Every structure is written in structure tokens, then in C-alpha cells.
A and B are shown apart, each in its own frame.
Chain A
Amino acid sequence: MDFLEQPPRFLFFTGKGGVGKTSLACATAVRLADSGRRVLLVSTDPASNVGQVFDTQIGNRLVTIDAVPGLTALEIDPEAAAGAYRERIVGPVRGVLPEDVVRGIEEQLSGACTTEIAAFDEFTGLLTDDALIAGFDHIVFDTAPTGHTIRLLQLPGAWSGFLESNDNGASCLGPLAGLEKQRQQYRAAVAALADPLRTRLVLVARAQASTLREVARTHDELAAIGLQRQYLVINGVLPAAEAAGDALAAAIVAREARALAALPGAVAALPRTQVPLKPFNLVGLPALRALLDDNAGALSTTPAAPANAPGALPALATLVDELATAGHGLVMLMGKGGVGKTTLAAAVAVELARRGLPVHLTTSDPAAHLTETLEGSLQQLTVSRIDPHAETERYRAEVLTTKGKDLDAHGRALLEEDLRSPCTEEIAVFQAFSRIIREAGRKFVVMDTAPTGHTLLLLDATGAYHREMARHMDKSGITHYTTPMMQLQDPAQTRVLIVTLAETTPVLEAARLQDDLRRAGIEPWAWVINNSLAAASPTSPLLMRRAAAEWAQIDAVRNLHAQRLALVPLQAEEPVGIARLQALAAGQRHS
């Protein structure tokens, strides 16, 4: 366990959602605490589930975990942090300024930028506030999904430089303007992150080609901003012994070995640990302690009861039949990162296109590998990606050529500087999203969305946009208009498919996402359980135990959460290309 040797003060676990970084961060924190260290475990994930893992209510404050002496946990909730920030600004003038003015300020401070910045501010505080962290030997961060993490970590560098070079004070720091005095703190945070004696970054991945490619990208980006000291953990590797007598297990073992052999050079050179797949779910203290214990898997050798047959659960293609009857519309696949939204979006798009329907498949996932998944093309099917960098550049260029065309050189430079603000990307991506969903009146638009936290921020941006647009429209006397939010809320125009895995935590997270969507007035149309072992009928003892464990979760989804449900079996081969996507949609496990 290289990544646990002589750990520095700060440990970061990062990786695509669903790879198990929360479990690893929790297990690491427990292990360090068990060895007598005082440990603070911090989650910065907008959809944190550290509380679930320890079966303790945590939240945005320090909570001691009674079952583990020496362990304290904290969840940084970006929404709560934004609320506190908002209150610091608005509180003093409430009752002093007119009520509608106060409401206007609150609305202005309810956007995505405020949330991002407030959460970042909390995070910086933890890295630099000695009084706060003095009592802890180690601080273990279970960071947010990759795209988000990169932004979070890139910001200190960007902003410290920005604050330094910006001497006229008129520039667009957005809500950060009020925090300008904390320059020193941001610089200290950057220094702590880049110092290998203080900070260790653990990249977590599964032995899958796409996940490993992404981890290589993350490695490069983080190394470029100064985080050189990185470790790699490959989680959930199926032990080779399981391959005997089970074609599915053999295919998985071979596939994982191939993926690891093809590990990109920069990450192949990192100190690496492989954590074997366990026959149990990683919830509760005994499971966490067993995760990093090499002998624990062998403790439970009792064969599992044979898995139930998948019964009458429909395949994805059955849902597509019903979707196809509308002839057009917006189909959004939503769920935590790593549950396979991109693959399923591609499968849905391919199925619709095969039925002769016009389809535009697109993704707003900052860590998208959609075009890599869909090798090949069908008539009727167009594929595009909302690339945050490209969108931001396009937006900057557009503003400069339209709004900036009459400015003199100095004014132009000022506008250019403002367009480098962190908010610009959010707006650019959102505009691209709004533009593409308009096509759904004529054809099918199938989108995989970004990971949950980001998705919700995006929706929040849609809401703010809706209010602003409605205000403009009312002023100019236009009475008939459709905003993106109205389109998302209309079940005749938009169908949301929630994607999850048949495991405890992913199902809870998906249920939470459904609640959030309902609060926003959006009713999910169906659920899809992806990568199901139960649907794949394995015979290897370890896989059978995991398949049997899935049924409680499948039943929970069917009975408590989903209006419609489809089950997608775990694939023996990575579902890349049209033929394999078709097989996946049909519910076959082999291509």
C-alpha cells in the first residue's frame, strides 16, 4: 500500500465518480486513526456520502466519529457555504434597505459562481488556517469529481495571479471581490498544495481503459499546476483466481489486465497500489477496515446463494421503444459520475437512430469520452460535445467582436481581462446547453449530463436565466416564450433517465438527485440500473456474491423510486462501437 507509507499532512483522493475514492479516503482515515493519529476527514463533494459510510449525520461542521477514536469528519456543502457567504453580505442591510432591493441582492448572489467560490473559500481556509487544523496530524480530503476537482485546484493559481495583476480594482472577480483581502491566504493554499512534504495526491481509478485515460489527463493537469507528487490506486480489481469456469469473470480479468498493461506512460511511472474487488459493499466500519486489509477477502468464502433471475425487468431497448413514439424530444441521462451515463446516452442515441429517427447526441460532461465511446457513425446520428474550453473561447471571441467592437485598445484590454474570470466558463457552457436543447423540437437530442453536483449547478443557472429572461420578456411585452427551464419541466418535451448502479450508495445518491430534480419541478421519466451483475448471471463465487447483493437495491429502485425501470447487464467487453452498444441496449451480456 504505497500511498499509505509515511503519509504527509494533507492527503487528497481524486478520480472519476464511482471509482471508490470516498471509500478509499474513509478507509485511509480510519486506518490512520486506528494507528493512533488524529485525523480530519473532509468531503468537498456537493453530493457527499461520508455520513452514509459512517452512519452518522455530519454536515458543514466538525463531527467526531465515536466508533473510531481520533477521527473527525467534515462535509463542505457548497450550497450551505454559499448561503453563509450570502448572509454575511445581505444580513447587515436587511431591514435597512428596501425589501425588493434586498431580494435583488440575494438573487444576484444565488448563481453558480457564488456557490463555487464560497466552497473554494472554505477549502482554502482548511489548508491555511492553523488554528482550525492544529489538532490534527492528517487531513484527508475526499475531493469532488474530477472536472470539479481540477477547477477547484486550478483556481488558487489562477486567482492569486489574477489578484496580483489586477490593480485597478474594477475587474470581474464576481462575488470574490469581497474576499480580495485574503490574497495571502490563497497564496498560502497554493504553496501547501504544491509542497510534496505537506501534500500527497492519490489518483483513484478502476482498471478500465476510459477511466485510466481520464486519470492520465487528471495527472497531467494537476502536475502542470505544481502537484507533482502523485500516487495511483487501482481499485476493485477482480482477482485472477475468479476467472476459472466463468466466461464473464474471465473476460473481466482479461480486460482489466489489458487496460493496466496499456496504462499511459506518465501514470505508469507513478507508485501504484492495486486494491482487489471485495465481495461486500463498502458501507460500515468493518467493511472499511477490510478494504485495505489483504486477508479480508478470504475471510468470507461461503458460496453465495444463486442469484435470482432478472425476472421481468425490461432491457434498455424497451424504454427506447416508448421514447421513439414521440418522434422527437430532449432525452437527458442523469446521475453520479462513473455510472455510465455517457455509454447509455450513446446506446439510447444509437437505438433511436436505428429506428430511422433523427438524433443529435451530445455531452456537457467536462470529462467526456463520448466520441471515444462511439467509434463509427450511423445515418441519422450526429454527435457533438460541449467542450468547456472551446465554448469559453467562442464566447470570449463573440463578446469581444460584438460588445467590444467600439472600444479603444485600453477598454478592450479591460474587457478581455474580465472575460478571463472563472464565471465565464459557466456561462459559456450553459449557453451552449441552451442552444442545443432548442433542437429538440425537430429531432431527438440525447445528452449525458455532467456529474451530479455540476448538473445541479447547471440547473440552478437555468433557473436564474429563466427568471432574468422572463423579466426582460415582460418588459418588452412578449407574452409567449419558452425558456430552457420550461422545456426541462415539460414532460412532453423532456424525458429524464436516472442512471445508477445496483449498490447501496449509488442508489441513495440517485434518489437524492431525483428529490432535487422534483424540487426544480422536473419529474424523472425512468431509471436505468447499469453494469448489473445480477442481469449478467455470473458463476464465479465472488461475482455471484456481488450479484446476489444487488437484488435488495434493484427491488428498492423498483418499489420505491422508479416509474419505469430498465436493467443493463455488465458487459464482458467494454461497450465501445455501435454493435456492442446495440447488444447492451438489448440486454445481452456478450457481444
Chain B
Amino acid sequence: MKTIHIFDPALCCSTGVCGTEVDQALVNAAADLDWARQQGARIERYNLAQQPLAFAGNAVVKAFLERSGQDALPLVLVDGEMALAGRYPTRAELARWAGISALPVQAVGSDCCSGGKCC
């Protein structure tokens, strides 16, 4: 099983609910990552504000920060290799990296998408 490492920008917390405005992308990312974990994926998250040593101690991440700056975060490594930067992964991407085969059918029966036609 591959390990997914996510290097977050400086956050108060992983969903961003502690910020002055809650970032939708962070809320979704927290839910998606939690979903992937439930499917057995190995995921570790590092917060620049709380674990800066993890950034400094990884040559790929350190070089990325020096080259592109912290605004280019988050950075996603899969087994140590750069896989994605600048946004959080989708469920499909997480599933591919982690080798999760059975993607659940997206939100069938929810209010938004009833009748099999998505809005």
C-alpha cells in the first residue's frame, strides 16, 4: 500500500474552522481524506504551523517551499514523490494512489441529484 503525505499550509486546524472564515476546500478535503482512510488508505497530514520540522526535514518539500513559496501549498507526496500541488486531491485521485478499487456511486438519492440527473 502506498503512503500519501499531505503538507498543509499554516493552518490553525485541519478543517480550517478556526480561521476567520471557513474555507470550503479545507472542509471538503478533511471529509475526503477521512473517507479514504476509512477505505484503508495510509494518509498523513502535516501542518506547517505545527510541524514545521516535517517540512524542513524532507528534501522534496523543502526544495518545493524554496522554489514556489508557501502560497503554493498544499503539496501531496505519494511514496515520497511529488504527486500534486496547489490543491487538495479528489476522491478519485486518492483512490488511484491508494489502490482503492470500489468508488462509491456519487451521492445517489441526495436532494440535489434525485431522479438520476445531477444538477
Contact = CB atoms under 8 A, between A and B. Distances in A.
Interface string A26-49: 000000000000000000000000
B47 A93 contact: no
Given A93-B56, A108-B12, A177-B50, A113 B70 contact: no
Contact of B15 (A97, A107, A113, A172): A172
Interface stretch (A288-296, A403-411, A528-536, A565-573): A403-411
> Binding site of A, secondary structure by majority: helix, strand, loop or mixed?
helix
Contacts of B38: 410
Interface size range of chain B in the complex: 35 or more
Given A109-B49, A411-B35, A464 B20 contact: yes
B18 A105 contact: no
Given A108-B12, A170-B14, A464-B20, A410 B66 contact: no
Contacts of A102: 52
Given A93-B53, A101-B65, A408-B31, A403 B13 contact: no
A89 B54 CA distance: 11
Given A170-B14, A172-B17, A410-B34, A104 B50 contact: no
Interface in A75-128: 89-90, 92-93, 96-98, 100-102, 104-105, 107-109, 111, 113
Contact of B12 (A172, A402, A404): A172
A93 B70 CA distance: 14
Interface stretch (B22-30, B81-89, B92-100): B22-30
A410 B112 CA distance: 18
Contact of A97 (B17, B22, B55): B55
Contacts of A100: 69-70
B37 interface: yes
Contact of A172 (B13, B33, B62): B13
A489 interface: no
B47 A174 contact: no
Contacts of A90: 52
Q: Which of A408, A412, A431, A469 has the most CB of B within 10 A?
A: A408
B48 interface: yes
A415 B9 CA distance: 19
B52 A105 contact: yes
Contact of A414 (B34, B48, B53): B34
A407 B27 contact: yes
B67 to A, nearest CB: 10
A91 B31 CA distance: 32
Interface string A188-215: 0000000000000000000000000000
A419 interface: yes
Contacts of B48: 101, 104-105, 108
A107 B11 CA distance: 10
A96 B56 contact: yes
B60 to A, nearest CB: 14
Interface size range of chain A in the complex: 35 or more
Contact of B30 (A98, A108, A414, A469): A414
A407 B28 CA distance: 7
Interface in B44-76: 45, 47-53, 55-56, 62, 65-66, 69-70
Given A93-B53, A178-B50, A418 B13 contact: yes
Contacts of B10: 104-105, 107-108
Contacts of B37: 168
A380 interface: no
Given A177-B47, A408-B35, A171 B14 contact: yes
B1 interface: no
Contacts of B62: 96-97
A418 B17 contact: yes
B10 to A, nearest CB: 4
B12 A92 contact: no
Given A175-B50, A177-B47, A93 B30 contact: no
A399 B30 contact: no
Contacts of A89: 49-50, 52
A403 B49 contact: no
18 contacts: A92-B52, A96-B62, A100-B69, A100-B70, A101-B70, A102-B52, A104-B9, A104-B10, A105-B49, A108-B10, A108-B49, A113-B12, A172-B15, A172-B17, A404-B27, A410-B35, A423-B13, A424-B17
Given A408-B31, A418-B30, A469-B20, 4 more contacts: A93-B52, A93-B55, A98-B65, A427-B19
**Shortest Cβ-Cβ A-B pairs, 5 listed:** A411-B31, A172-B13, A108-B49, A108-B10, A93-B52
Interface of B: 9-15, 17-20, 22, 24, 27-28, 30-35, 37-38, 45, 47-53, 55-56, 62, 65-66, 69-70, 107, 112
